[in-house]
Amino acid sequence: MNESGKLRVAVVGAGAAGLCAARHILSRAELFEPPVVFEQSARVGGTWYYEERVGTSDDGRPIHGSMYRDLRTNLPKEVMMFPDFPFDSHLPSFLTHWDVQQYLETYCKSHDVTPHVKFNTMVEEVKPISMETDEGGAVRWEVISRGMHGGHNTQTFDSVFICSGHYSAPHLPSIPGIEHFKGKVMHSHCYRCPEPFAHQSVVVLGAGSSGVDISFELAQAKAQVILSHNKPALPFSLPLEIKQAPPVVKVLDDGSLFFQDGSVAHAQVLLLCTGYKYQFPFLCPKQLGLEVQHHLLAPLYKYLVLPAFPSLFFIGVCTVICPFLHFHYQIQFALAVLDGTVQLPSRELMDEDAERERQRKTQMGVHLLQMDSDQWDYYVSLAKTVGLPPPNPVIQSLYEEVARQRRANPQAYRELNYKLANATEWQLLNAPSEQ
């Protein structure tokens, strides 16, 4: 706390989560100083700021985004939006990345967030410092940042919100013999558009949402695609250009790909749609007692509070969620913890709670941070604790309907347009096209 008696909060990242954090901190000016939002790039938007370039920028910044040129959202705008900030009513339900970027820029301007963003500034270190004068040994945080055009800066904060995203650091599976592959190996993080792959043979590894979407794009560009994955046969029809195969298990000496069923194929491109790993290069996990693995970040109480350091918040690290809705509730919960409205349990109880949750997820056979149907009770619980209205039930109902449509027809479900009729019903505005 500074001389004004107000709390100082640092926000790492000016993507959707960081902007939402800044907006809510600014709305509590009686208790919080304006936030400092550190953003390594020159723009807000994070994932939604499309950069054609891959690798690093001219000033040595790693290109953060994994967005591809023709992506349309997999959630309709009615489900995607921050609950207090609707998308333009003229837009279709499923949006381009450009629409979402415009929305986030408008959100930022409407809430006067931009003056608080330190652009071209990368956070290099976030570390706890004990303040001996604080009763109870309250921890403060030192944030060391580097301007992309030179110069380091160190500032002290009462709390840090980590909003740095987790779709940027590719997870690269280890494939024995990969050094023999004679074609191009790339990760979907560096995929932008299908034209360079026209008429080429491409093995896409992984049938998550990016793997399936990108396979369709490649097929339209007349690439010959083998979609290699470890799921049961996909329950929808695929264009002739896409064949399915089990996982690639190794590369043979002659450079051909060897699949789990013993089949073999030559390919010009191996496109890894194998997801992303959690990465926080500015934190020292050992010092914080934080376990960071490919699919795991633990222990986190309520999926956002580190029990040993309850003024460090991880926003939006869960998967299979409605991200903007999720940020909305997590951030307001975190602010209620800081302003004392919500009393956290003791460290021991939070650790026990996080461990129980980990065991429950292990028994369910899902990754700890994967939410899906669990997310609704989670939002209700956060909302109730903080005294906010819970999500409108129609959002869940539309989310579930879209998931059904996506499973049945992942190529065409985005042609549908929905409208919220009232608090419990939505309407379909156009008929599904023939498959």
Q: Which stretch binds ligand FAD (CB under 6 A): 59-67, 228-236, 250-258, 259-267?
A: 59-67
Q: Both ends of the chain: CA-CA distance in Å?
A: 60
Q: Which stretch binds ligand FAD (CB under 6 A): 42-50, 151-159, 248-256, 370-378?
A: 42-50
Q: Is 122 in the site for ligand FAD (CB under 6 A)?
A: yes
Q: Which residues pair with 298 in a beta bridge?
A: 291
At 289, give phi and psi (nearest 5°). Answer: 70, 35
One of 164, 200, 375, 411 touching ligand FAD (CB under 6 A):
164
One of 76, 83, 92, 165 touching ligand FAD (CB under 6 A):
165
Q: Which stretch binds ligand FAD (CB under 6 A): 3-11, 63-71, 248-256, 386-394?
A: 63-71
- For residues 178 and 170, is the Cβ–Cβ distance under 8 A? no
Q: Where are the beta strands (DSSP E) in 248-372?
A: 248-251, 257-259, 264-265, 269-272, 291-293, 296-298, 305-306, 309-314
The distance of closest approach from Cβ of residue 278 to ligand FAD in the complex, given in angstroms and rounded to an integer, is 12
Nearest Cα neighbor of 213 from 235, 177, 238 is: 238
Q: Which stretch binds ligand FAD (CB under 6 A): 157-165, 179-187, 218-226, 388-396?
A: 157-165
One of 22, 66, 226, 399 touching ligand FAD (CB under 6 A):
66
Residue closer to ligand FAD by CB (options 48, 87) is 48
Residue 363, H or E segment: helix 347-364
Q: Is 64 in the site for ligand FAD (CB under 6 A)?
A: yes
The distance of closest approach from Cβ of residue 323 to ligand FAD in the complex, given in angstroms and rounded to an integer, is 4
Taking only Cα atoms into account, the Rg of the chain, rounded to an integer number of angstroms, comes to 23
The distance of closest approach from Cβ of residue 14 to ligand FAD in the complex, given in angstroms and rounded to an integer, is 5
Binding mask 2-41 for ligand FAD (x = CB under 6 A): ----------xxxxxxx-------------------xxxx
The distance of closest approach from Cβ of residue 122 to ligand FAD in the complex, given in angstroms and rounded to an integer, is 4
Concatenate the DSSP letters of all residues of 285-351 into one string.
HHHHT-EEETTEEE--BTTTEETTEEEEEE-S--BSS-HHHHHHHHHHHHHHHHTTSS----HHHHH
How far is residue 315 from each of residues 304, 335, 340, measured CA to CA in Å? 6, 12, 19
User: In 3-state terms, what secondary structure has residue 272?
Assistant: strand
* Span 187-226, contacts to ligand FAD by CB under 6 A: 210
* Span 302-331, contacts to ligand FAD by CB under 6 A: 316, 323
Q: Is 169 in the site for ligand FAD (CB under 6 A)?
A: no
Nearest Cα neighbor of 104 from 20, 13, 12, 192 is: 20
**Residue length, the chain?**
435
Binding mask 265-304 for ligand FAD (x = CB under 6 A): -----------------x----------------------
Dist. CA 225–CA 203, nearest whole Å: 6
Position of tokens 């097929």? 219
Dist. CA 127–CA 333, nearest whole Å: 23
Q: Where are the beta strands (DSSP E) in 362-425?
A: 418-420
Residue closer to ligand FAD by CB (options 104, 383) is 104
How far is residue 279 from each of residues 169, 186, 416, measured CA to CA in Å? 7, 19, 36
Are β-strands 152-157 and 305-306 bridged in parallel, bridged antiparallel, or unpaired? unpaired
Residue closer to ligand FAD by CB (options 257, 322) is 322
- For residues 160 and 13, is the Cβ–Cβ distance under 8 A? no
Binding mask 382-421 for ligand FAD (x = CB under 6 A): ----------------------------------------
Dist. CA 113–CA 126, nearest whole Å: 22
Residue closer to ligand FAD by CB (options 1, 144) is 144
Nearest Cα neighbor of 292 from 106, 300, 261 is: 300
One of 123, 160, 204, 402 touching ligand FAD (CB under 6 A):
123
The distance of closest approach from Cβ of residue 3 to ligand FAD in the complex, given in angstroms and rounded to an integer, is 27
Q: Which stretch binds ligand FAD (CB under 6 A): 60-68, 379-387, 406-414, 421-429?
A: 60-68
- Residue numbers at the binding site for ligand FAD (CB under 6 A): 12-18, 38-41, 46-48, 64, 66-67, 71, 73-75, 80, 122-123, 163-165, 167, 210, 282, 316, 323
